[in-house]
Every structure is written in structure tokens, then in C-alpha cells.
Amino acid sequence: MRLKSYYQSAVNVRVRFFMLSAFVGVVAGFATLGLIGLIALVQEGVFGSMSEVRFASVVAGSPTWLVLLTPAIGGLIVGALLHFMQGQRYHGIADVMEACAVRGARMDVRSGVGAAFAAAISMGSGAPVGREGPAVHIGASISAWLAERLGLTQSDSLTLLGCGAAAAVTASFNAPIAGVLFALEVVVGYYTMRVFAPIVVASAASVIVRQSVLGGDAVFSLPHFQLNSFWELPIFGLLGLFCALFVLVLILLVGKIQDFWQASKAPLWCRPALGGLLIGAIAIRFPDVLGSGYQSIDQSLNQELLPTLLMVLLVMRFLGTGIALGSGFAGGVFTPSLVFGALLGALIWTLVSALLPDLVSEHGVYSIVGMGALASAMLGAPISTVLIVFELTANYEVTIAVMLAAAMASTLMQLSPHTSFFRWQLARRGVNITSGRDQSLLRTRTVENLVKQDFSPVGDGDKIIDVERQLSTDKNRIAILLDEDGNLLGSANLRRLVAASIDHGFDTPAAEILFGSEKSISQHTNLVVALQEMAEQNIDYMPVVESRDTERFLFKGVVFRTDLLKNYYDVLRTARAEEFGIN
């Protein structure tokens, strides 16, 4: 009966969580479609057309003043919105990764909504950025808000956040398989059935929403390409390396532009407007720079662009995207990476077809391979990005070529200081998420619940010999010196007192030895930092104070290395249980 009761209880928990996952999938799906619709409304209000695939043609037929000023006005509105957002900046996929790695899957839903509106204005006014970043962020922030309201555990909160991210990718690109793997590969960071199943449910719910509203057709309609010869595989490997180098140069450009704005002391609110003015100036001559770039992808896949135009468009769009991202426009990098990959792949095809005309495959093959490789390098997620390309184009015949190029691109990115654009963004903020799941869990655990009162207070008149006797006979092994208000002035263990008695004599006031040794940690310090502090001080304890943000350190108690190590073991056990799906 107990086994049956346990089984029924476990099943009920799973069923309830699946229902919650489906609900998140539906909500995140509609939120993503709402973002797409809002972008289209802004675009139609400005340029008179909702078309993504023919947006450049619409821009080319617009008045010069409209093309020049629209990105600037959009940037001005975005700058005003950013002023009211957390950290006064756009929040995207990097923030979702940070929330999962170091914030216990907690996010501010207001930043998600704000990012969505800022992204709608950015893309609706022509900024050459993508919608997947804000879509993932709003899906994840809705999930995080719901998890917090329901009081879910950190593990379940992380899974639900992955559900929101997967649903957003699915609804944005009509790519349910890639949405699942993106959430597992980028957001959650590991694969288990316990995490996998709810994310699949959320993605399935989201794709139903997407196809019910927008239909189930692939974004790009193409013939079914196939490889002409396996001798081309080394060429595709080189294409992958070129794609990774392109991403590294783009990262360098965005960083330089951000540094320029920082050094210029220009107000945050006006930076997107000034950047938008530059983008508009470029778009007067090269209208393909504005918008998502779907028209450039479509033309590249169908060999509608001359080689010289391919090169010029690649350079101009590279500059436009760098300016947009560096100046503070809100948007993602996945769609731009698809554009860059398609154009770069087409350029490589032009070169190869001139040198090896009998060997080369069709033009579209190289564009598809370039899309997968460059997106893989940009996102640091080769599996999901390859699948997104397949689901966008509905073309699976070039699987080996795309996977090889993506593998080479990802390998080169792994050898670089920052393995993806998102990790580079986090590194710029001083956030490191490369330490793995164990370290991430440890950084979310604080010492607050491990503080003990196992110490002996030191009075003004106590001598070293008196404190030594007290520590030798008492269970407490730590002497603490406090002022009259309870603020920490110093601490010492028995070993230090014995050494001090040899150097200064037994009759030396203990306060003289303890005073000034007020090395301590805050009660909000995480386990990793606490253990590092003990290792640096070569001690097995650490005084804990309420906060280290003020000049006075209100003493709370003592934390010991043995308790930290025990908690460390518990964290490792929790991590293994989550990764292998053990309750």
C-alpha cells in the first residue's frame, strides 16, 4: 500500500507539472506571437508593410527622410524605455543564462515585458537585430514569475524556466525540436528525462499555438538540395572556421562601440538614437541593412544576389548590426547570424564554383551550411542551431555538411576567450557561468543557515592565558572580540592564541591580539566564496556579520569548514540527482 501510495503521489506530481508546463508553453507561445505582431504593427505604421521577407524592397521605395530618421526616432524611444528598465539596459538570452547559473532561476518579469516593448520598437523601426532574444527572455521571465508565485523548488523552477525558453523559440521559428534542444543546451545546461519531458510538453503546446495562428509552413520555401560530392566536406569545414572568425570580429566590433559610448560620456538614452541615425544613413544607399534580413536570406538561398552585392551587403549589414547592438538597441543575435551565414556561404560558393566548377554543389547548399555554422558559433549551441536551420528551411539533405561546419565553428569558438556571444556579454558584466552546474548550485547557497553560536566572547580584562584556559575546557574553540554594540572587532582560534602567548607572553591582554583581525564574511556569502576565504586565511572557521556594506560589522555568529564541506557534499548529491533524474 505504501508503494502504491508513493507511486500515485509521484504520478500526480508529474501530471501536475506536465499541466503546468503545457500552460507555460501556451502562455509563452502567445506572448511570442504577441511580440511578433507588435513588431509587425510598428513596422506597418512606419513603412506601410508587415512583410518580413520583402522588407528591404519596402524600405527601398520609402522616402529618404523616412529611411534616415526612423531608426533614430526608434532609438530615441528605446533609450527612454531603457531608462526605466533594471540596470538601464536591454535584457536578453544572456540574462536567462545568468538567472539559471547564479540566480536560482529567479528573474524579474518586468524586465521581460520591458525588453519585449523595446525590441518591438527597435525591430519595427528597422534595427538589424533579431526577435528571438526578447522572445526567450519574456518566455523565461513569465516562467520564473510563475515558479516564484507557486513556491517551486530551485530544480523545478529551472525546469519551468527552460519550458518558457523552449516555447518562445518554438513559437518564434516554428521549430519545436530545436526549441527543446535550445532550452536544454543553453538554458538548463544538462539532459535528463525529468527535465526533458516537461520541456517537450511546453514546446508541443507552443507549436500548436504557433501553427493555429500562423500556419505550419517553413519560413523559407526551397527546393530540396543535396551534396554533389563528399569531397566538398573539407570546404564546408573551412566555411565553419570562417563563420567562427566572423563572429569573433563581430564581438570585437560590438565591444569597441560599447567602449566608445562609455568613453564619450553620452547619456544612455541618446546612444540608441545616435546609433540609429548612423544605421539610417547606411540604409539610404543599402536598404537591405534594415530589418530582420529575411529578404537577404531568401535571395541568397535562391541565388538572386550578384557576388559584388553579396560582399557589400555582408559588410554593410555587419556594420549596421554592430552599431545596433553596441548602441543599445533591443534585440537578439540569432536572426542576424542566419543572415551573415547565408551571405558568407554564398560568397564561399562563388569562390569555389570559380575554382572547382565540376565539384561544387548548388548555391543554396552553401548558404544553408553557412547559416547553421555561423548561428552555432554565435549562440554556442551547435545542436539546436543546426536543427533550427533545418526546420526553417525544411531541408534535411545537407545534414552532414551543416553538422561538420557547425562542429568546426563551435570548436574554434571553444578555443577563443569567450565561447559564444552570450558568454561574452556575461563576461563584460563580470559574470562567469563556465564553472559548471555544481559551482552554479554552490553559488546559490549562502552561509546564512549554517551560522552557529559556538564561540567564547572575550572581555576587556581577559588575558591570553585566561582565554586559552576557556577554549581548552569549553566546547567552543573560537574567541570573538565585540564592541559594546555587538560589532565584530576581531577573532582567534586556540592555535593562534598559543602562538601569541609564546611571542608576547601569557599576561598580554587578549584584546590586543584579537583587535584588528576582523576578517569576516556576510551572512549572504555563498559557499564557494566562504570556502575560498577560509583557504586564503588557512583557518577552519569564519566570523559572519550581517553585512559588509557598512563600516560597522554586526556580529551574527561563526561558520565552520566542516559544515561548509557537508553542505558542499549535499549540493553535489543534489546536482547528480537532478542530472540523472533521481528524486
Rounded Cα distance between 564 and 531, Å, is 7
Instruction: Provide the sign of the torsion angle of the four alpha carbons 355, 357, 363, 369, taken in this order.
Output: negative
- Evaluate whether residue 67 is within a structural domain: yes
CA distance 123 to 549: 41
Question: pLDDT: is 290 or 572 the higher one?
Answer: 290
pLDDT band at 549 (very low <50, low <70, confident <90, very high): low
Q: Report residue 10's pLDDT band, with 50, 70 and 90 as the boundaries.
A: low
Do 425 and 477 fall within a single domain? no
7 plus 77 within the same structural domain: yes
Overall domain count for the chain: 3
C-beta of residue 98 within 8 angstroms of C-beta of residue 300: no
Torsion angle of alpha carbons 346, 350, 351, 354, nearest 10°? 160
Cell numbers that stand for 88 in this block: 538601464
Spatial separation of the C-alpha atoms in residues 115 and 95, rounded to whole Å: 11
Determine, yes or no, domain membership for 328. yes
Q: How confident is the model at residue 150 (pLDDT cuts 50, 70, 90)?
A: confident
535 & 481 share domain: yes
Residues 252 and 354 in one domain: yes
pLDDT tens string 390-442: 776 666 667 888 889 999 999 999 888 878 898 888 888 877 776 555 666 66
Are both 324 and 390 inside the same structural domain? Answer: yes
Question: What value does the mean pLDDT of the chain take?
Answer: 82
Quick one: pLDDT band at residue 226, thresholds 50, 70, 90?
confident
Contacts of 427 (CB under 8 A, 6+ apart): 417, 418
Q: 237 falls in which pLDDT band (50, 70, 90)?
A: very high
Confidence of residue 98 (pLDDT cuts 50, 70, 90): confident
Same domain, 389 and 519: no
Give the rounded distance of the alpha carbon of 530 from its chain centre: 26
Q: What's the CATH code of the domain at 528?
A: 3.10.580.10
| 382, 404, 430 - which closes a domain | 430
In terms of Cα–Cα distance, which of 86, 91, 96 is closest to 116?
A: 91
223 assigned to some structural domain: no
Q: Are 478 and 513 a contacting pair, CB within 8 Å?
A: no
343 within a domain of the structure (yes/no): yes
Confidence (pLDDT) at 100: 78
Of 7-16, 132-141, 197-206, 552-561, the range with the highest mean pLDDT is: 197-206
416 and 480 assigned to the same domain: no
Of 405 and 83, the structure prediction assigns the larger pLDDT to 405
With cut-offs at 50, 70 and 90, classify the pLDDT of residue 500.
low
| Range of the structural domain that residue 458 is part of | 443-575
**Residue 220 forms part of a structural domain:** no
Place of cell 563581430: 250
Give the mean pLDDT of 172-182: 86
Could you tell me if 457 and 384 lie in one domain?
A: no
HSE-up (13 A, CA, CB side) for residue 73: 11
φ/ψ (deg, to 5) at 359: -95, -35
* Distance in angstroms (rounded) separating the CA atoms of residues 65 and 43: 16
pLDDT greater at residue 13 or residue 326: 326
Cα–Cα distance for residue pair 235/229, rounded to 1 Å:
11
CATH (domain of 391): 1.10.3080.10
pLDDT reading at 208 higher than 60? yes
Buried b / exposed e along 31-50 (16+ C-beta atoms within 10 A): bbbebbebbbebbeebbebb
| Domain end call among 408, 430, 452 | 430
Co-location of 14 and 127 in the same domain: yes
273 inside domain: yes
Q: Is the Cα torsion angle 71, 74, 78, 79 positive or negative in sign? A: positive
529 and 558 share one domain: yes
pLDDT band at residue 552, thresholds of 50, 70 and 90? low
**221 found inside a domain:** no
Q: How far apart are CA 147 and CA 159, in angstroms?
A: 10
> Which whole number is the average pLDDT over 272-292?
90
Distance in angstroms (rounded) separating the CA atoms of residues 121 and 74: 6
Question: Among 125-129, 200-204, 389-393, 563-567, where is mean pLDDT lowest?
Answer: 389-393
Percent of the chain with pLDDT over 90: 23
Sequence-separated contacts (24+) of 253-260 with Cβ below 8 Å: 253/318, 253/319, 253/322, 253/326, 254/322, 254/325, 254/326, 255/326, 255/424, 255/428, 256/326, 257/322, 257/323, 257/325, 257/326, 257/327, 258/326, 258/428, 260/326
> Beta partners for 463?
509
Is 238 in the same domain as 374?
A: yes
For 486-499, what is the mean pLDDT? 72
Average pLDDT over every residue of 5-16: 64
> Is residue 378 domain-resident?
yes
Q: Supply the pTM of this predicted model.
A: 0.79
Final residue in a domain of this structure, among 187, 214, 241: 214
Q: What pLDDT shows up at residue 7?
A: 43
Residue-level pLDDT at 467? 66
C-alpha cell at position 569: 557534499
Is residue 424 located within the same domain as residue 454? Answer: no
Q: What does the alpha-carbon distance between residue 569 and residue 349 come to, in Å, rounded to a whole number? A: 54
Cα 87 to Cα 250: distance, rounded to the nearest angstrom:
24
